[in-house]
Amino acid sequence: LTVRTIVALVPSPLIPLVFSTAGISTPISCQLARPVECSCIFGSKFNKNFQQLRKMERKLVDIMERVSFMREFHSDNFTVVYQPFFKDASVYYQNDKKPDMSMLSVDCFHLSQKGHAISANGIWNNLMEPVGKKSNGFSHLFEKFHCPTIRNPFIFTNYNTLNLV
Kindly report, residue by residue over 81-127, the tens digit of the pLDDT.
999 999 989 999 988 889 999 999 999 989 999 999 999 999 999 99
Identify which of 104, 110, 146 has the alpha carbon closest to the alpha carbon of residue 128: 146
Lowest-pLDDT choice from 1-5, 30-34, 120-124, 139-143: 1-5
Instruction: Quote the pTM value.
Output: 0.86
How wide is the angle at C-alpha 86 spanned by C-alphas 38 and 20, nearest 5°? 55
The stretch 147-161 carries a mean pLDDT of: 90
The per-residue pLDDT for 1 is 58
Confidence at 165, pLDDT banded by 50, 70, 90 = very low
Instruction: Tell me how far apart the alpha carbons of residues 19 and 59 are, in angstroms, rounded to a whole number.
Output: 15
Query: How many C-beta atoms surround the C-beta of residue 120 within 10 A?
Result: 12
The per-residue pLDDT for 38 is 82
Confidence at 163, pLDDT banded by 50, 70, 90 = low
Residue pair 108/30 in contact by the 8 Å Cβ criterion:
yes
